[in-house]
Amino acid sequence: MSLSESGFFSDVEYFCQSVRDKKTRLMPGVGRVVCDILSGDDVRQFVFESGARYPDLQVILEGPVDHGDYTFPSGLVDVVALAQLIHDGHSVVLHQLHNRFGPLASLVREFEATFECRAQANVYFSPPNAAALPPHFDNHDVFVFQLEGTKTWQMMKGSIELPGPETTFLPQQHEPGELEESFQVSAGDVLYVPRGIMHHAVASESDAVHITIGVFWTTYADVAVDLLKHLVGRQAELRASIPRDWRTSTAIQQQVLAEIHKHVDAISLEEIRLVLTERWLDLVMTRRPLISDQLEQLRQRDEIKPSTQFRVRPLALWHQSVHDDQAVVYCYGREIAFPSHIGPLLETLFRADGIVTISALLKEIESPDWKVVVQRLLAEGLVELV
């Protein structure tokens, strides 16, 4: 069962309106399905038996540890040295394990598809009473899925309000304050921690294993920065040098300010919409296919008939548009082009909810090209027969 099928995202609208960016939230028991995806024993296997290398695997003790203490010169992890460090109270982090473990990649993609933004997964393994990291805040939100054991998460004063990617935690500048909240997070629980919240996590009397899903929301600032880049790329006047004496001459300074304001003030809603679409396209075109059965699907391609059941793959991110007399579907870094008259059929197909048949779609829109279109989308890994 996937996280979506378990109902985890069922209150996503409430979450986005009332919780996101605002407060820490403990969700007891709602992450049990993830314990079936990745167990504590699976994590130990990755740590000790997978031939892990630095920097995919890193040792931490309230911060990074010199990797020379637990790796061979090649970067391969020395499991004997690693075991000793863990025995002595060090923790292990498997960085972006979703890039090397399919089920975790699917979990991350569910977050990306639901929230339409980039996400990643790190896995932490801590021995009893260990703290992997010192008190700190992150510049992105995290969803903590506890897989094994229990951790105490403390939320402290000293938080930064909604930090962006340019704001990083610096221990010399950002000191934790008094305790504000404390949460006991056990196996199967999920803890949401907004960016900027100062926090500290300590394992209980047994090993503790958890996944952090880092979510990088699209912010108004992101769109504003992209919009200015778009504007600068389109208007050569903005790339011209400003007068040398802008700082000493009040008249020239006013001239410069007026010129910049003129261009910014001329930004249209259509340009903003274009930048938003380009940002979504960047996500769509950089997501790899998470498909294990494509060969079997291809072997059934010629058997497609009106009664065949199929669906758009749930973990596929896609975008459709019509331009230059073509209907184009963007997915997996590819542009799948059709004649423009195929556009309405594509819209109907993508609008369908869940499993459908061709005959059901043809009740909404007639198209003699249905078989060719479905076969092409199947060959590209965007739809699957069920």
Q: What is the mean predicted confidence (pLDDT) over 211-232?
A: 94
Average pLDDT of the segment spanning 233-246: 89
Asked whether residue 99 is assigned to any structural domain, the reply reads yes
Please choose, from the candidates 145, 177, 157, 150, the residue with its C-alpha nearest in 3D space to the C-alpha of residue 33.
Answer: 145
Q: Which domain-ending residue is among 194, 216, 238? A: 216
Tens-place pLDDT, residues 325-365: 999 999 999 999 999 999 999 999 999 989 999 899 888 88
CB 235 within 8 A of CB 228: no
Q: At what angle do helices 343-351 and 370-379 cross, to 10 degrees?
A: 60
Interatomic CA distance for residues 103 and 145, integer angstroms = 14
- Name the pTM for this structure: 0.94
Residue 2 falls inside a structural domain: no
Q: Where residue 62 falls among pLDDT bands split at 50, 70, 90?
A: confident
| Residue 156 pLDDT > 90 | yes
Question: Do the domain assignments include residue 285?
Answer: no
Tens of pLDDT, residue by residue over 266-311, are 899 999 999 999 999 999 999 999 999 999 999 999 999 999 999 9
Task: Give the total number of structural domains in the chain.
Answer: 3
Q: Give me the pLDDT at residue 263, please.
A: 87
151 and 266 belong to one structural domain:
no
Mean pLDDT of all residues belonging to the chain: 95
CA-CA-CA-CA dihedral for 23, 24, 28, 29, to nearest 10: 100
CATH of the domain at 120: 2.60.120.650
Residue 55 and residue 141 in one domain:
yes
104 and 161 inside one domain: yes
Q: How far apart are the first and last CA of the chain?
A: 16
Last residue of a domain, one of 251, 279, 307: 279
Give the pLDDT of residue 66: 97
Q: Do the domain assignments include residue 85?
A: yes
State the alpha helices, DSSP H only, in the chain. 12-14, 32-37, 40-49, 79-87, 102-115, 220-234, 250-265, 269-285, 294-298, 343-351, 358-362, 370-379
Q: Is residue 374 part of a domain?
A: yes
Same domain, 236 and 266: yes
Residues 261 and 299 in one domain: no
- 208 & 229 share domain: no
Last residue of a domain, one of 216, 232, 256: 216
CA gap 275, 230 in Å, rounded: 8
Statement to judge: residues 224 and 373 lie in one domain: no
Domain that includes residue 123, residue range: 12-216
How far, in Å, CA of 83 to CA of 187, rounded?
23
In a domain, 358, yes or no: yes
Q: Can you give the pLDDT at residue 182?
A: 97
- Give the pLDDT confidence score for residue 181 in this predicted structure: 96
Q: Which of 198, 184, 200 is nearest to 134 (CA)?
A: 200
Looking at the structure, tell me whether residues 77 and 202 fall in a common domain: yes
Question: Do residues 203 and 320 both lie within one domain?
Answer: no
One domain, residues 24 and 124: yes
